[in-house]
Structure 1
């Protein structure tokens, strides 16, 4: 099972919206994934043990984990491309 971490500034508001969209889309694509939420400060320690980070905010570039920008999932502009990028990163 893949692990996806949704990151926003506080780990509450925008990550909740994005997590729901990511969960729904991955399920529709038949991809089993554990989708969890967190705040950007959670990334200041050791790199998280996840396959992908989907972030609504800037994250450190030194994580060694692929990162997909989540802004399109909030605005709807470019949403399909962002979802496709998430699926591709997990394939």
Structure 2
């Protein structure tokens, strides 16, 4: 099984993406998924997408990307977290 690369982005690449990154580390450990998490600013995502499998963003996605992209607002609000967990696991298992 290949290690999946996931970009975790927020406006500044620091605050909310760190919250999401921490949650994802726990999720992937629990699911025994091998992933590489890359934290960055949303403005950097377009130039990084060719080396990744999934984009998870806490901000509005400013463009359409070549790879799947999901909004992580559920992880910030606490509403719909389990549904988002399932969606992310589904995407990385494709």
Given the two structures, how large is their TM-score scaled by the length of structure 1? Answer: 0.91
Q: Any runs of at least 4 consecutive aligned residues in structure 1 with deviations exceeding 2 A, and if so which?
A: 43-48
CA distance in 1, matches of 2:57, 2:49: 14
Q: 1:68 matched to which residue of 2?
A: 70
Q: 1:51 matched to which residue of 2?
A: 53
Alignment size in residue pairs: 91
Q: Which secondary structure does the structure 2 equivalent of 1:47 belong to? A: helix
Q: 1:89 matched to which residue of 2?
A: 91
- For structure 2, the residue ranges without an aligned partner over 5 or more in a row are none
Q: 1:38 matched to which residue of 2?
A: 40
Deviations along 1:4-50, one digit per CA (max 9) or x if unpaired, are 11010000000000001011101100100001101011034463411
CA distance in 1, matches of 2:92, 2:67: 11
Q: CA RMSD in A?
A: 1.4
